[in-house]
Structure 1
Amino acid sequence: MSYIELKGKQYPYYLSRRKMRSMSATVRGGVIEVHAPYHVETSMVEAFLKKHEEKFVKAIEEFKPLYDFRDGGFVYVFGKRYGLKHIIDQSDAVEEHGNCLEVHSYDFEKIISRYLGKKLYTYLQARMGYYLQHSFDLSMPHIIVKPYRSRWGSCYYERQEVTFNSMLIHFDTRVIDSVIIHELCHFLVSNHSKAFYHEVYKRMPDYDYWHEQLRGAL
């Protein structure tokens, strides 16, 4: 990780070099990520970041962390913020007490991540069942929850499988529903044509409003 001064403040950035024709940069998780060709010097990278500093600083400042996995930290679950309390014992359990989640374990992050993954899977299974019954003439596909760096879900028609980003647990349920409908509609239309979005809006007229809340979160 390197640091650069933008608008009078120091900001971290990651630089990775690869075989590519031009440089690109984005903000993920509140940190700038730069991809540059091997021949581009660091001075050119930093000149590029300074040229577009307004955009990068705005994206960083607007970033809202969705969790802080440590004792006394927090996590958003279905859009609601919970405090986290770490209790060191061998039960490997998570207990909900009002606006607080008590994590009983020696391995704090492993157990809270497992808890959130199961909670998201249960919701996805129930809501997909609902939409398949009321809005689609399809069979229930296989559901997989996993971490992704750059997508919220994927549809695999031939395998009858849908995968969802484990980060969805942090968002309002209507945001999650927008991803469910998006992926299920790919069983009807494989691309992102007007025909595809016609199927999406038919089932969720306010899709754009909810799906937009995912922008910049990865």
Structure 2
Amino acid sequence: MTNHARDDADAAIDPDGGTAAGDAAAVAGKLEQVIAAQVRHYRTAGGLSSAELAARTGLSKAMISRVETATTSCSLTTLQRLADGLNVPVTALFRGADTDRDATFTKAGQGSLTVRSGTQHGHEYRVLGTLKGRTDALEPTLVTLTDASDVFPLFQHPGTEFIYMLSGKMVYGHGAYEYTMEAGDSLLLDGEGPHGPLELLDLPIRFLAVSAR
């Protein structure tokens, strides 16, 4: 092998011991397997034979077989024909292709304590999880009220909020309305309206506040 040829070969090898072409082939192979499984799933769920799906899509029976055995790469046109023949959106054929998604697991009694305007009045706010980089993510917060107080800060924020009572009893305000809430009660509200506890009737009080912005 000449030095030039050796340099070209070395350039194709990444630091982890693989090659760019090999990595691309692995990704493509995984995608083909996902499409194969989804096409087979929707075809059998719809009670269609390979011949019937072929007739619906204008593809050959042999092509349907190659798709379902992941031995061919589908063009966008073929994917659209398959989706139309199966009566599903094209995106349904890719379900399961991207399984690397964020999740947050929080053990009982854990979570991040945050300081808010009610902290100085005996209110505890424990955030139970967040997803990084998501502007539309939910923010679940466990709120615990342990001290009787005559001062109750009100909150306003974009989006919506869901309140679910776990224990205790309180009067919760939203705008001009008041709601007496106890364990098992819930309230869905527009976050733009001033909201928060107005009267603590039975301590300690614990409720889950889930906001979506």
- Please give the range of the TM-score, normalised by the shorter of the 2 chains: under 0.3
Tell which has more relative contact order, 1 or 2 (C-alpha 8 A, sep 6+). 2
Larger Rg belongs to: 2
Greater helix share, 1 or 2?
A: 1
TM-score (norm 2): 0.24
